[in-house]
Amino acid sequence: VIREYERAVVFRLGRILSKKAKGPGLILILPCTDTFIKVDLRTVTCNIPPQEILTKDAVTTQVDGVVYYKICSAVSAVANVTDVHLATFLLAQTALRNVLSTQSLAQLLAGREEIARSIQAILDGATEQWGVKVARVEIRDVKIPMAMQRSMAAEAEAAREARAKTVAAEGEMNASKALKQASMVLAESPAGLQLRCLQTLTTLAAENNSTIVFPLPINMLEG
């Protein structure tokens, strides 16, 4: 009896019977002449252990991932490869190292989905003759050495400081332009300049709670 998620590859005198897997349900096996191998068609989870990767920009990282695949042709999985699960596992490790070694560290950190799709395409092309269909590839973790993490943090901090200085310089430039326009407006009205001076003094007195004494009338400063 073959379960719903299984298929049986039947050999009669060493040859695959009818080139097609049997099942599910009840199948008939002739004694002495027939043998069969059960193949599980459910999705298999393959954990890729951490791999030492040297990226394109000469940074050593440890990357691990997971591959989801299933057998879509039981006859090919039995007749074309000795151990289909071991072969898929080793091929996934090799494909992971080969693809990541062509990427820089920035591309590895920012483009995980694209890299996973590339690995999936490579595995699909290689395992098609084994009757295996790769459903999904995921890169789980990227470990960077502590020295590189500190260097990246220092670089990011320097970049933020540079942006802050640039923003401050732009603010100073805009403020100087505004002061120039204000001085041109005040130059057209001497009374406006006196009122602005008095307003500034009032603001200072309100903030610091101080008393300001004029030794002479302000209109005498015009000369």
| pLDDT at position 6 | 93
Task: Write out the chain in H/E/C secondary structure.
Answer: CECCCEEEEEEECCEEHHHCCECCECCCCCCCCEEEEEEECCCEEEEEEEEEEECCCCCEEEEEEEEEEEECCHHHHHHCCCCHHHHHHHHHHHHHHHHHCCCCHHHHHHCHHHHHHHHHHHHHHHHHHHCEEEEEEEEEEEECCHHHHHHHHHHHHHHHHHHHHHHHHHHHHHHHHHHHHHHHHHHCCHHHHHHHHHHHHHHHHHHHCCCCCCCCCHHHHHC
pLDDT at 82: 93
* Residue 18 shares a structural domain with residue 74: no
215 within domain boundaries:
no
pLDDT surpassing 60 at residue 30: yes
Q: Which domain holds residue 33?
A: 1-40
Q: How far apart are CA 4 and CA 8, in angstroms?
A: 11
Report the CATH number that the domain containing residue 57 is assigned in CATH.
3.30.479.30
**Do 193 and 186 form a contact (C-beta atoms < 8 A)?**
yes
Residues 67 and 110 placed together within one structural domain of the fold: yes
pLDDT on residue 191: 72
Q: Dihedral, CA atoms, 63, 69, 73, 75, nearest 10 degrees?
A: 60
Domain-terminating residue out of 124, 147, 170: 147
On whether residue 59 sits in a domain, the answer given is yes
46 lies in the same domain as 100 = yes
The average confidence (pLDDT) of the chain is 86
| Highest mean pLDDT of the ranges 38-42, 153-157, 168-172, 212-216 | 38-42
Which residues are registered as beta bridge partners of 142?
63
Spatial separation of the C-alpha atoms in residues 147 and 189, rounded to whole Å? 63
Instruction: State how many domains the chain has.
Output: 2
Are residues 101 and 25 part of one domain?
no
pLDDT tens string 60-89: 889 999 999 999 999 999 999 999 999 999
The pLDDT tens digits of the residues spanning 101-145 come to: 888 888 888 888 899 999 999 999 999 999 999 999 999 888 887
Q: Which residues contact 139 (CB under 8 A, 6 or more apart)?
A: 63, 64, 65, 112, 115, 116
